[in-house]
Structure 1
Amino acid sequence: MSERKKLILIDGNSITYRAFFALPLLSTAGGRHTNAAYGFTMMLLRLLQDERPTHVAVAFDKGKTTFRHEFFEDYKGTREKTPNELSEQFPIVRDVLDAFGIIHLELEGYEADDIIGTLSRQAEQEGYETLVVSGDKDLLQLVSEHVHAILTRKGITETERYDPEKVKERYGLTPQQIVDLKGLMGDSSDNIPGVPGVGEKTALKLLHEFGTMEAVLENLDKVPGKKLQEKLAEHRKDALLSKKLATIFREVPLDVTLDQLTYRGFDKSRVRETFKQYEFKSLLNKLAEEGGEETAPPNGDTVDLAVEIVEAEELSRILADLPDTVGVQFDYAGHYHRAALNGVALGAPDRAWYVAFAEGTVPEALQPFFANGDKQKVFFDVKAAVYMLRDRQMGLGGRTFDVLLASYLLNPQDGTPKLEEIIARELNWSVPALKTDKKSPEPTLAERADFYGKIASALCRLQPKLDEQMRRQEVHSLYQDLELKLAYVLAEMEYQGVKVDTDRLRQIGQELSEKIERLTGEIYELAGTEFNINSPKQLGEILFDKMGLPTQKKTKTGYSTSADVLEKLAPFSEIVQKILDFRQLGKLQSTYVEGLLKVVREDTGKVHTSFNQATTATGRLSSTEPNLQNIPIRMEEGRRLRQAFVPSEAGWKMLAADYSQIELRILAHISGDESLIDAFANDMDIHTRTASDVFEVPADQVTPEMRRAAKAVNFGIVYGISDYGLSQNLNIPRKQAAEFIENYFAKFPGVKRYMEEVVVQARKDGYVTTLLNRRRYLPDLHSSNYNVRSFAERAAQNTRVQGSAADIIKLAMIRIAEELEKRCLKSRMLLQVHDELVFEVPEDELDTMKQLVPDIMEHAVKLDVPLKVDVAYGDTWYDAK
């Protein structure tokens, strides 16, 4: 019995176009429109689920000129220009297809229809069942016994499936007669002339009687109606031309075979990351509900590699024969903080070895290899390796290479790199996934050895390629001197963790519960009834229907009660501020009190956060499991959560060191603005100085409102704030906000010049760099869409500032860690939270640390303005302020 082969061919332009006009104009937080790409993806998921194809391809038009223009210059000449909001989404659609591992095709001089026609012909000859998906009924001419079509009928949700019988039922024609129909009636959307006055009804009558268009033209005397005869005779050439234009060309010279269109399912993690990137939230939920098809590795050549399973007693022989550079991949599952080590694979370019660990214990013979050794050890994540070895009282020394950090520095705009994607992109290798879910049987030792051995070999091969690319892109020193060194520092911080006073945390939780309960009663009293405060529908009915507050905006399900809406309503009614407080306290209770209690480790009494070094485009660190950087400190109740973070040793203190206005100081340095430099050089309050300059009053006459406005514009400028954004922040008219920004730039012309010049340079280079030469690529600077382009311009302006701030604190962390070790101090660095570093310090080292930490932080780099660090200490993190 022959293997079932089912090919789906999707008309990419047609489906994307229909999705664009079928769905409301959606966009990401950054302003990039996504409705067409979202609709396309929604249909793609449904097709893959319902049809279960073995082969898939998507065809796109390539350029505006095709071979049809050679014999009809005005082909498609009446079409309106594609909206920018739509054209900018085709790259997103291609990104989605890449994530799914689906090939997309286009060829100069041909249309998507022609590519689909050619592939469907080849597939039919080779015994495939083929399904063509489009919104264009022209493709019905391809329908046959083994080629069926799905056409969108209304938007993209209503579709109709066609086989030859369905075409006959709908038109009374065979699929081959569809081009005759088009020849007679023409198509205004493609500017195909046809015969004037002949519509679908007349054309069908003629074809039902005569069979083909040529037969109609040859039998004009038998055509009913003198007027119709004359039209057909007069426009004979137009009819023949129209049929020729409508006929799909099925001999396109494609350089792809049907085998290359093989589809084995998609890699769920890769698709998930793409959905996150474009904020396809409901599709993310759908992916989670359905479980996806986590089966297919990225396209590439299957690795054929010998992997030897080595017993512990044979290790000496293997270690002696290893090459100078060795790929190292630990065999573990889950998060590396809690991982049980099953073994390790060591890889050379052409072979690999796997060593199983007895009861998770690293063999003694391997310890010198990890601790120092003369071999360069290549990991995917050095920080994870350092942590796991540290957790087993072992060190990682000697030369190391981190594929994760190298790939991140080369492609920071892609987010956290995935190992399988790096391997596929750089080596064109495909390593089949190791099944470790509950539904699959436990992998055998041989299967684990094969999988991890191939990964280790790939790591070994990746090292020289990535190293060379970093040197070429001039980020090698950033990698070697900053990011790689920082990985060791962060691993130690993660290992140390932060002590949590759980009794104090529960007490804070109890106090929050009491406040929430009191607020609930007050809200019910003001509303005159009890209701579910967490229900947007019920809350909307109370505020707008019952209490008559002015409505701001509506959603499909009713009134919007989002935070921005409620903040605008707060001045109108006391109940609104109480609802905002209720929400904030509820989040503190659930996310931070209950959330933190769940992740305190029983064995250490600490939380051990993970610092993500390869995530943000600006180079800033992030924190997860738990996120200790996002504890809200604007509310006193949020700040008080820090009372639960305490030293792990009796008699020690918590010490916090915080850069003061580091981003504004960097802005002064890189813009060279004389007024800004002068303010910092003279240690003036920068917000008072700005208010004094902009409002043209002496510093001692600056009011709190003036300073608040100046502070908003100072920090807003760093993030590329608009007049609209500033008006929202300060609750002032947009015109007044625009004047304020204009006045600011008049007083600080160097800042304005920098803002303009950095965009021009970034557009020329394709990227922007930080003071330490970190790059961020910004292809959207050339977008024809204003919103997308504006977002990229703001990113160019603030990345140089934010990224430089991130680099500076990283450099300070490395130097502090080195100094602590050099001086044999017992003090420990525990946390990095934006511009702040947190330590636990023995009392007899307090004086040393109060001087040492700010000195290193303030002299991490030399700027045209001084860096300033505020230091405080106390019994808890809260007290260190």
Structure 2
Amino acid sequence: MEKDVIIIIDGNSLMHRAFYALPPLTNKDGLHTNVIFGFVNMINKLIELYKPKYIAIAFDRKEPTFRHKEYAEYKAKRLKMSEDMAEQIPYLKKVIDAMNIKRLELEGYEADDIIGTLSKMSDRENIKTLIVTGDRDAFQLITDNVHVLMTKKGISEMEEYDRDKLLERYSISPEQVIDLKGLMGDASDNIPGIPGVGEKTALELLKQFGTIENILENTDNIKKNKIRENVENNRDMALLSKRLATIITDAPLDVHIKDCEYEEPDYESLAQLYEMLEFKSFLQKIKAVHLKSQDNQVNVDADIDVSEINDSMALKGLMSKILQEKKITFKISQDDNGSPDYVFIAVQSQYFYIPINGAAIDFLKDVMENANIEKAGHDIKSDILILKTIGINIESIIFDSMIAAYLLNPSKPDYKLKSIYNEFFGNIINDYESKEGDKVKNYGNSLKAIDELMKPMMDKIREMGMESLYKDVELPLAEVLADMEHEGFKVDKDRLRELSALYSERIDKLTQEIYELAGEEFNINSTKQLSVILFEKLSLPPVKKTKTGYSTDVEVLEKLSDKHPIIDKILEYRQLLKIKSTYVDGFINIINEKTGKVHSKFNQTVTATGRLSSTEPNLQNIPVKTENGREIRKVFVPKNEDYVLVDADYSQIELRVLAHISGDESLIQSFIYNEDIHTRTASEVFGVDKELVSPLMRSRAKAVNFGIVYGISDFGLARDLKIPKKEAKLYIDNYFARYPMVKKYMDDIVKEGKEKGYVTTILNRIRYIPELSSANAVQRSFGERIAMNTPIQGSAADIIKIAMVRVYKELKNRKMKSKLILQVHDELIVEAHKDEVEEVKKIVKEKMETAFDLKVPLIVDINVGMSWYETK
């Protein structure tokens, strides 16, 4: 017999998670609603997944607790709750009450203590208990019956911790969690701990001694002198910290488990609240299921009949149905070896799955390559890649729910189908990524979910003016990226090995030079040891202090570069070490043995600006400002001697976009007349004729030009140019005086962002900026910089994507041997057959320079070489 389940939710933890995980949502009255929406989503998900008999939500109260009385500084450094969050709490509690979920608060105690007391009760009654929180403090409550559901990635995913999982992840038992806190403290709660003891040291001590009390009794056995001294000098603080971290399990809670039994919600009250809050998806569901309305009924929970097609006659029948409908929704599944094993197809509201073998491959090729059959799916790029392995291409993609969700909110932590569906319909499904349930039914659920999402998502995309961006840019781009991933980029493995040996020699030489300058050997990679050398032995002035001592990060070292010759050596040492480990040795390990290439994954739905990113390996981040970094590009070569690399790079695209968006005539004229924009800016800012502009003036004007694009402050410019802040402010003021429409654009876009909660690009790509409404001045300033930059950087991303699609299509339509294989920032690389080089150059230049009609010309620089290095 299965145990009853109780879910106990840490209300304050989940509120904060929801607030920072979701974009700012408001109803027509201006009430912020993202916390409430995220919280309700989570409750629905938990009820659906775990079907609890009991459920309760614990909240903190405003009054001081017994911990504040024992230690006045407890939680003293906590920032005041954002007004945008605080205003939602009364409404959230009304929703919880309407859902008939037990809501618990207790004066003088924290939510943790309520959770601890309630979990102790349920444990005694042998009830399976799930504590839902984002706070690791709850790990101390774990028992055989009590587990912790730790939220991650905002509130969309949860990870269950029991004793074994806690031991595996943190090497401690639940009982030792409070000892860990007592040793290392907790900055968020302002629990002091022992100075100099971080998580790693605390875990080592607990592994050796077990508890704080045992550590204090055996300090003579602590090997490290400094740690031993700190422990001995802070005995009382360690014990106080442990007490503060200990969750109470016998609080005077006037409630019994049976009082938390989950009952049917008050649907009438809930509907009224949802209507006021404008939670249309939640409202539709309860109207459809519980208030007897037939509008917008959601049926994905219903049993789905997915039929197997496994003979030629059945395939012919299915083909006839598809040709009649001219539209399918599909998904390809893979076996444990990554090979395609089944195709799942929905047509005319019927669901089928077909083993991919024999005649099915011919059937699949006929369906997928038929341009008259429209295709819909989720993450179709992955399906294109899978089918390419068996020689099948996909034509006529009309809908991808993952890309649609990304356009509607580019800041989400993930774009899994189940979370997208839940967001629109307030319902949880077992989709194709689910590890639980029947695989066939899960894939059937996925197809049904995609079909149900298509209309509301496309309506929203049209409403936001993004239909062209979606259909003409992002959907066809999925095919381009899949082809680039499939093609890969050839890497000269022998050259990589040579570089590895060369960098090892340089690193060894630098190491010895650093030792000589320091006057002793030490661990250069240790912040602590390096700090001693720099700030104690060599008496260099410390720049920045952290909790553990003086910082030795790059910014600090660069400020000290003129103080001692050891600094430049350390900077070069770090640079070489990173290049060797990340790019040289790292690339050697990921070269595909069959192709001799690296097949980077291009991510279409990751960055909030709309730019692409790449992983495994990340080719976007190969350093190009130093010769050591540029050396890496020498290993990227054409696939064989019949090919060369054609590299096309937009010239100053972001500044050209700025000229277009701002409409500043001086800036526009500079580009129309093909002036050196940095020389022109230097002339304007420094008030001299262009002929008298010195290299230093041009360099500083260049920093201003590109800094303005990113909303740079006088402080930031002063830091970058190593000049006084007053001088930097003068440069910026002079710039805006000469380019007044740029200043107007920046003021206007920040104002617009604050009014709407988002900004857009030239193709109406949207980016929400919750920081603009933050009560925190630092966050608000950050939001303003995002507002200034996103339309520029995002528009540049739009343009390069348009260019990619057009170049790819032209090469494909002409059936050329040359292939587009890489995009990095504003640069495209085509692996061109030697017989097609001139034709490729013309195609790439024409398609890139006419990708979008700006008020200024788009200029592309093209180079050809036998390696990526040679093309720059």
TM (normalized to structure 1)?
Answer: 0.69
In the other structure, the counterpart of 1:368 is 366
For residue 542 of structure 1, report the CA deviation from its aligned partner: 1.3
Deviates more, 1:759-768 or 1:487-496: 759-768
Cα distance in 1 for residues equivalent to 2:108 and 2:489: 56
In the other structure, the counterpart of 1:78 is none
* Cα pair distance change 1:63/1:870, threshold 3 Å: farther
Contiguous gaps of at least 5 residues in structure 2: 22-34, 64-75, 125-134, 142-251, 267-297
**CA deviations over 1:146-166 (Å, ceiling 9, x no partner):** 5999xxxxx9969999xxxxx
Q: Which letter does structure 2 place at the counterpart of 1:518?
A: K
2:397·2:476 contact (CA, 8 Å) conserved in 1? no
In the other structure, the counterpart of 1:86 is 80
2:799·2:852 contact (CA, 8 Å) conserved in 1? yes
For residue 137 of structure 1, report the CA deviation from its aligned partner: 12
In the other structure, the counterpart of 1:241 is none
Q: Which letter does structure 1 place at the counterpart of 2:82?
A: E
In the other structure, the counterpart of 1:310 is 309
Q: Which letter does structure 1 place at the counterpart of 2:524?
A: I
Structure ID, larger Rg: 1
2:339·2:386 contact (CA, 8 Å) conserved in 1? no
Cα distance in 2 for residues equivalent to 1:610 and 1:727: 38
1:10·1:133 contact (CA, 8 Å) conserved in 2? no
Cα distance in 1 for residues equivalent to 2:470 and 2:678: 36
In the other structure, the counterpart of 1:339 is 338
Q: How does 1:11-50 map to 2 (within 5 A)?
A: 12=12
* Alignment counterpart, residue 383 of structure 1, candidates 350, 371, 381: 381
* Alignment counterpart, residue 648 of structure 2, candidates 657, 665, 674: 657
CA RMSD, Structure 1 to Structure 2 (Å)? 4.4
* Cα pair distance change 1:644/1:145, threshold 3 Å: closer
For residue 703 of structure 1, report the CA deviation from its aligned partner: 2.0
Paired residue secondary structure (1:572): coil
Q: How does 1:627-776 map to 2 (within 5 A)?
A: 627-776=618-767
* Cα pair distance change 1:711/1:327, threshold 3 Å: same
* Cα pair distance change 1:138/1:512, threshold 3 Å: closer
* Alignment counterpart, residue 614 of structure 2, candidates 623, 627, 630: 623
Cα distance in 1 for residues equivalent to 2:606 and 2:92: 37
Cα distance in 1 for residues equivalent to 2:639 and 2:16: 57
**CA deviations over 1:314-372 (Å, ceiling 9, x no partner):** 222234335554321111268xxx8311212113585422222349x953222211111
TM (normalized to structure 2)?
Answer: 0.70
1:403·1:462 contact (CA, 8 Å) conserved in 2? yes
Task: Please say if 1:556 is aligned against 2:555.
Answer: no
Paired residue secondary structure (1:414): coil
Q: Which letter does structure 1 place at the counterpart of 2:525?
A: N
For residue 433 of structure 1, report the CA deviation from its aligned partner: 6.6
Q: How many residues align?
A: 679
In the other structure, the counterpart of 2:353 is 354
2:60·2:109 contact (CA, 8 Å) conserved in 1? no
Cα distance in 1 for residues equivalent to 2:802 and 2:103: 58
Q: Which letter does structure 1 place at the counterpart of 2:352?
A: W
* Alignment counterpart, residue 401 of structure 1, candidates 374, 399, 404: 399
In the other structure, the counterpart of 1:327 is 329
For residue 519 of structure 1, report the CA deviation from its aligned partner: 0.4
Q: Which letter does structure 2 place at the counterpart of 1:609?
A: S
Q: Which letter does structure 2 place at the counterpart of 1:809?
A: I
**CA deviations over 1:519-559 (Å, ceiling 9, x no partner):** 01101111111111111111111111211111122223322
Q: Which letter does structure 2 place at the counterpart of 1:680?
A: F
Deviates more, 1:645-654 or 1:512-521: 645-654
* Cα pair distance change 1:13/1:855, threshold 3 Å: closer
In the other structure, the counterpart of 2:602 is 611
1:720·1:798 contact (CA, 8 Å) conserved in 2? yes
Cα distance in 1 for residues equivalent to 2:122 and 2:682: 72
* Cα pair distance change 1:147/1:452, threshold 3 Å: closer
Q: Which letter does structure 1 place at the counterpart of 2:826?
A: D
Q: How does 1:52-91 map to 2 (within 5 A)?
A: 57-58=56-57, 85-88=79-82, 91=85
2:624·2:630 contact (CA, 8 Å) conserved in 1? yes
* Cα pair distance change 1:515/1:89, threshold 3 Å: farther
Cα distance in 1 for residues equivalent to 2:327 and 2:61: 45
Q: How does 1:31-430 map to 2 (within 5 A)?
A: 57-58=56-57, 85-88=79-82, 91=85, 106-107=90-91, 119=102, 134-135=109-110, 257-258=262-263, 302-313=301-312, 314-322=314-322, 325-332=327-334, 339-348=338-347, 351-358=350-357, 363-372=361-370, 374-430=372-428
* Cα pair distance change 1:388/1:711, threshold 3 Å: same
Q: Which letter does structure 2 place at the counterpart of 1:340?
A: S
**CA deviations over 1:190-243 (Å, ceiling 9, x no partner):** xxxxxxxxxxxxxxxxxxxxxxxxxxxxxxxxxxxxxxxxxxxxxxxxxxxxxx
For residue 603 of structure 1, report the CA deviation from its aligned partner: 1.1
1:63·1:108 contact (CA, 8 Å) conserved in 2? no
For residue 415 of structure 1, report the CA deviation from its aligned partner: 4.8
For residue 769 of structure 1, report the CA deviation from its aligned partner: 1.7
**CA deviations over 1:251-291 (Å, ceiling 9, x no partner):** xxx99945789xxxxxxxxxxxxxxxxxxxxxxxxxxxxxx
1:116·1:132 contact (CA, 8 Å) conserved in 2? no
* Cα pair distance change 1:479/1:9, threshold 3 Å: closer
* Cα pair distance change 1:373/1:758, threshold 3 Å: closer
Q: Which letter does structure 2 place at the counterpart of 1:135?
A: E
1:300·1:424 contact (CA, 8 Å) conserved in 2? no
Deviates more, 1:728-737 or 1:510-519: 728-737
For residue 16 of structure 1, report the CA deviation from its aligned partner: 7.6
For residue 7 of structure 1, report the CA deviation from its aligned partner: 4.4
Q: Which letter does structure 2 place at the counterpart of 1:316?
A: K
Paired residue secondary structure (1:814): helix
For residue 624 of structure 1, report the CA deviation from its aligned partner: 1.1
**CA deviations over 1:13-58 (Å, ceiling 9, x no partner):** 99989xxxxxxxx99xxxxxxxxx9xxx9xx9xxx9xxx9975554
2:432·2:446 contact (CA, 8 Å) conserved in 1? no
Contiguous gaps of at least 5 residues in structure 1: 18-25, 28-36, 65-81, 95-103, 122-129, 150-154, 162-246, 262-298, 438-442
**CA deviations over 1:107-138 (Å, ceiling 9, x no partner):** 489799x99998269xxxxxxxx999942899
In the other structure, the counterpart of 1:70 is none
For residue 593 of structure 1, report the CA deviation from its aligned partner: 0.7
1:307·1:352 contact (CA, 8 Å) conserved in 2? yes
Q: Which letter does structure 2 place at the counterpart of 1:621?
A: L
* Cα pair distance change 1:527/1:474, threshold 3 Å: same
Cα distance in 1 for residues equivalent to 2:643 and 2:548: 54
1:610·1:625 contact (CA, 8 Å) conserved in 2? yes
* Cα pair distance change 1:874/1:83, threshold 3 Å: same
* Cα pair distance change 1:785/1:83, threshold 3 Å: farther
1:59·1:116 contact (CA, 8 Å) conserved in 2? no
2:327·2:374 contact (CA, 8 Å) conserved in 1? yes
In the other structure, the counterpart of 1:69 is none
Deviates more, 1:589-598 or 1:847-856: 847-856
Cα distance in 2 for residues equivalent to 1:734 and 1:318: 71
Cα distance in 1 for residues equivalent to 2:15 and 2:53: 21
Task: Please say if 1:601 is aligned against 2:603.
Answer: no
2:53·2:262 contact (CA, 8 Å) conserved in 1? no
Task: Please say if 1:565 is aligned against 2:556.
Answer: yes
In the other structure, the counterpart of 2:3 is 3
1:380·1:402 contact (CA, 8 Å) conserved in 2? yes
Paired residue secondary structure (2:839): helix
In the other structure, the counterpart of 2:217 is none
* Alignment counterpart, residue 512 of structure 1, candidates 493, 503, 506: 503
For residue 9 of structure 1, report the CA deviation from its aligned partner: 5.2
**CA deviations over 1:389-440 (Å, ceiling 9, x no partner):** 2221111123542111111111122254122211222244423377998xxx
**CA deviations over 1:486-544 (Å, ceiling 9, x no partner):** 11122222111111111111112211111111101101111111111111111111111
Paired residue secondary structure (1:406): helix
Paired residue secondary structure (2:706): helix
* Cα pair distance change 1:640/1:106, threshold 3 Å: same
